[in-house]
Amino acid sequence: MDMNAVNSLPFEDFVRIFGNVVEKCPMIAAAVWSQRPFASFLALETAISDFIDALPESGKEGILRCHPDLAGRDLQMGTLTQESREEQSRAGLDALESAERTRMAQLNEEYKARFGFPFVICARMNDKANILRQLSERCQSERAAERARAVEEVKKICHLRLQGLVRTDAPNKL
């Protein structure tokens, strides 16, 4: 859809369509809806990013906790959101060998125990080998730095999900 269509969406439709651009956080879509009309794709993306940045640290961690473990129980049980399932599949996380699956589970648990939220990385911008490497390396990070890094990954995911919903080539008529 183009920005004119985005700007004309009623509240309920806007939240339904954009409610998962940040994983399982429809409240973000609800909050930015009132900022319409958006002059451009970038304006919509910036509104979402600014909302996230304005959250207290506990709110940012809440967003991170909405993310599933990579190659975790939700993937195995088929309970991921459609977006997460597609992203994890593209990265090859649905086809891990037994040793990779075990290592991923161990690192996910170590990461969550250290930081209190799941490891977040933009799976569409990585493959399984890089994800495993990043997970291992980031387990050694300091909490504040890791939270900031994870929030930036959320924004990358959001950008790609928005691109899948909104045409960025059409001019907007306010």
Kindly report the pTM of this predicted structure. 0.94
Q: Please give the Cα distance from 68 to 164 (Å, whole number).
A: 20
Q: 43 pLDDT exceeds 80?
A: yes
| Contact predicate 121/70, CB 8 Å | yes
Query: Measured between alpha carbons, how far is residue 25 from residues 19, 60, 107 in Å?
Result: 6, 11, 25
60, 67, 128, 161: the catalytic one is 67
Q: What is the model's pLDDT at position 47?
A: 98
Q: State the pLDDT confidence band at 168, using cuts at 50, 70 and 90.
A: confident
Residue 159 annotated among the catalytic residues of the structure: no
Q: Measured on CA atoms in the order 159, 165, 166, 167, is the torsion positive or negative?
A: positive
Q: Please give the Cα distance from 78 to 64 (Å, whole number).
A: 20
- Return the structure tokens found at 139: 């387990």
Q: 172 pLDDT exceeds 80?
A: no
- Return the structure tokens found at 72: 């975790």
Find, among 120, 95, 6, 23, the residue nearest to 66 by Cα: 23
Q: What is the model's pLDDT at position 76?
A: 85
Q: 173 pLDDT exceeds 90?
A: no
Helices and strands (DSSP H and E) totals, the chain: 10, 0
Q: Please give the Cα distance from 33 to 25 (Å, whole number).
A: 13
What pLDDT, in 10s, does the model give residues 83-97? 999 999 999 999 999
Q: Looking at residues 18-41, what average pLDDT do you find?
A: 97
Q: State the pLDDT confidence band at 170, using cuts at 50, 70 and 90.
A: low
CA angle 163, 165, 167 (to 5 degrees): 65
What pLDDT, in 10s, does the model give residues 19-29? 999 999 999 99
Phi-psi region of 29 (alpha: psi -120 to 50; beta: other; left: phi over 0): alpha
- Domains delineated in the chain: 63-154 (1.10.3330.10)
